Chains A and B, each alone.
Chain A
């Protein structure tokens, strides 16, 4: 049973690989295998937690790889997206607003980030993040000189050039207040800051951006008890080990209990005798804790290193790209994976306050899988373009 799963999964990725080699013959050869390996690790852990969920995740991988293939075949060149960047940017905002629309949004764990479409619910934020990166890449390429010039008194550009960015910030902030989704807020702002820094290369921007984010976070902290609780639990996870801190404390126990090489797959202490996970959201946000428990520090570190290789290849594509749009797009997409990984792994290991995000490619979740394969497809498109140009 589980073996036929594995065979099917391998066949699926071989097929995806063939399509990639035909459609984008010069694309980076590492990224798809890394994505596939991470997906496989995720599927294995999910299968161990709940075979039914693994089956559904398998279906989502099929959908994700189909979307990946469709993207490669329909959008031959990522630079075509440059011309529709404003449409994409507006779509992203629209997607972010969707969960706040009455009758559509569904609140899970204090955050409204789901859209209920009858048989399936989806998380529009996962797709919005990819679209936002495309928009920002185009927008920052167009305006980077003007923004970098610093016509204002303190080397800060005039509101005329900075305005659109502030509008985006404000819109995103409003949506985030509405949905109470701190994890995504952190992700979007970090992506925004990373891309701004790459485009302009000046610290004051990053400093101002951080200041604005701190302001927003402080505002959320003031109005949302759920956010204040997250912070106090991060400071002392054992203040309420059976109350609000339960999830984080259990996550720490799972990580600590894994030891260096882990208990072995299926032999860890993840489920109660009744078969319920000790850690709520184990298969989504806390999948890293499950990996640390059963595959140990070695397995967990290997997963983090896989992301590091992914990030290395992604930034390498960005550095080799000749045009600004490609550079910014590749850097932005790569930064997205890096930041998302850091925020959720840091959250479940209590390095930073816990905010809900999925671990890219690994966590259970349809929207997350599909969106991340689309992200991977775009990155490979840039890579194909770059390598073709640089080919001797």
Chain B
């Protein structure tokens, strides 16, 4: 039996060698495994780094800071995150926790905030620090968020589900990013259940969802700005083009009526392009859409950034592109006949858009047709005060010619002066805007909108307000919120 025993010993020896080899294999793969979500090794190692602070646009007000927690057993100090402004900037700043990983800027700027960004001088510095046993310190981030505007937006959104995005049209800086309902990021660690169980004002409440970049709303009449841009920019129509409005438009042999109140659908008769925008006349846009064809409208959508993820500094799983959707997926039709041109033109069809995208539409009109890359980061500063990176305003898309933008500005100014958006007026400031009301067929479930920019002659703010659970119109629900935020940002009393 001895030969068998000897062979058995060699067999088991080989198996044991395989065990050690397998253990070594995982060591070899460690660098790649460390980057995976849910690896506590990485999370805990990063807890020993003094994470960079996050500030509002004034560079002074803290949005995220650290508290120190001694770990006598580990012989180290852990830095745990606290958010002194609670819900105010929850979705843009996000959270960084031990148990639930990270979100928002805390996730996308993690390398900067932990000082592990791949820039040579910081790598050398942090390696030296580690060798000397000095606590590694991350870089501080100054955001573009303006807390006056942010507060006005959060106040305005109370009781609604929706989002507000305000941009600086010339630079793409995000001045306001507010999503409702919000959550307190301090509760994510430890009291996550409280966030999950949150209810209302709509179902599901999904407080963690950033509705400004991930919420998909029906754009309704705000989309007419895109259609109008296509119509005017392509030279197929001019501001003086005239239309006859019978109160409806015929599509596929059936009548599609104008927005109707108690007295029935409104009829405007003979109007020009500006009248159609001012009064948001569906039948006119329906005709324009039929004449332009869906291909041209979709081409212009893409020029505004639809069908792309806006290049903002948020984790890509928190950004949703806007466009036509079919069966829950983004839909870029190859067959023009597959799309209803009339309903597309006035913002129905299967359009789903984010407030960020609609803010980019308003900003494009405000910025002579140029869409700037939206950005949340003003600058990143190393612990010793050196500026590591500063936001450069870069052009993202060219949506239309400056002349078209000027024509649209004039029309949108009339909307606020005397059209559907009068509730957004601010004394002493000319506001250009467009309302939107998309009926979903269920009572109190309208998606309502207001997109705007101000001052119309030299725009400093472009804004989109999108709400999902409304009984009223864009003019009565969303426009007042936009008005309050613009006033706050421009330092006026509304």
Residues of B1-37 whose CB lies within 8 A of A: 1-6, 8-9, 12-13, 15-16, 18-20, 22-24, 26-27, 29-30, 33-34, 36-37
Q: Size of chain A's interface in residues, with CB distance under 8 A?
A: 52
* Complex Cα–Cα for A339 and B29 (A): 27
Residues of B within 8 A of A292 (CB): 23
Interface contact A256-B22, CB-CB below 8 Å = no
Interface contact B41-A269, CB-CB below 8 Å = yes
B264 at the interface (CB under 8 A from A): no
Residues of B within 8 A of A (CB): 1-6, 8-9, 12-13, 15-16, 18-20, 22-24, 26-27, 29-30, 33-34, 36-41, 44-45, 73-75, 98-99
Q: Which of A198, A253, A297, A308 contacts B33 (CB 8 A)?
A: A253
Q: Which of A241, A257, A304, A327 contacts B19 (CB 8 A)?
A: A304
A146 at the interface (CB under 8 A from B): no
* Complex Cα–Cα for A259 and B31 (A): 10
Q: List 12 A-B contacts (CB under 8 A).
A: A250-B38, A253-B41, A257-B30, A257-B33, A258-B27, A304-B16, A307-B16, A308-B16, A311-B12, A338-B15, A342-B12, A345-B19
Given A198-B4, A249-B38, A278-B40: A351 touches B9 (CB 8 Å cut-off): no
Interface contact B4-A201, CB-CB below 8 Å = yes
Interface contact A250-B26, CB-CB below 8 Å = no
Interface contact A255-B23, CB-CB below 8 Å = yes
Binary contact track A254-282/B, C-beta < 8 Å → 1, others 0: 11111110000011010011000010000
Residues of B within 8 A of A266 (CB): 73-74
Given A269-B41, A304-B16: A197 touches B26 (CB 8 Å cut-off): no
Which of A256, A260, A327, A349 counts the most chain B CB atoms within 10 A? A256
Q: Across the two chains, which residue of chain B brings its CB closest to A350?
A: B22
* Complex Cα–Cα for A339 and B19 (A): 12
Closest Cβ–Cβ distance, residue A320 to chain B (whole Å): 9
A315 at the interface (CB under 8 A from B): yes
Q: Which of A256, A304, A319, A335 contacts B6 (CB 8 A)?
A: A319
Q: Which of A201, A267, A272 contacts B99 (CB 8 A)?
A: A272
The SS class assigned to the A binding surface is helix
A324 at the interface (CB under 8 A from B): yes
Interface contact B75-A300, CB-CB below 8 Å = no
* Complex Cα–Cα for A350 and B33 (A): 14
A25 at the interface (CB under 8 A from B): no
Interface contact A269-B20, CB-CB below 8 Å = no
Interface contact B15-A241, CB-CB below 8 Å = no
Interface contact A338-B29, CB-CB below 8 Å = no
Residues of A within 8 A of B20 (CB): 297, 300-301, 304
Residues of A within 8 A of B (CB): 194, 197-199, 201, 238, 241-242, 249-250, 252-260, 266-267, 269, 272-273, 278, 292, 297, 300-301, 304-305, 307-308, 311-312, 315, 318-319, 324, 327-328, 331, 335, 338-339, 341-342, 345-346, 349-351
The SS class assigned to the B binding surface is helix
Which of A199, A252, A324 counts the most chain B CB atoms within 10 A? A252
Interface contact A351-B18, CB-CB below 8 Å = yes
Q: Which of A250, A319, A341 contacts B5 (CB 8 A)?
A: A319
Given A249-B38, A266-B74: A194 touches B8 (CB 8 Å cut-off): yes
Residues of A within 8 A of B26 (CB): 252, 255-256, 349
Interface contact B40-A253, CB-CB below 8 Å = yes
Given A201-B4, A301-B20, A346-B22: A250 touches B40 (CB 8 Å cut-off): yes
Interface contact A252-B33, CB-CB below 8 Å = yes
Closest Cβ–Cβ distance, residue A196 to chain B (whole Å): 10
Closest Cβ–Cβ distance, residue A207 to chain B (whole Å): 15
Supplied contacts A260-B27, A292-B23, A349-B19, 9 more A-B pairs, CB within 8 Å: A238-B36, A253-B39, A254-B41, A255-B27, A256-B27, A257-B34, A318-B1, A335-B8, A346-B19
* Complex Cα–Cα for A346 and B75 (A): 33
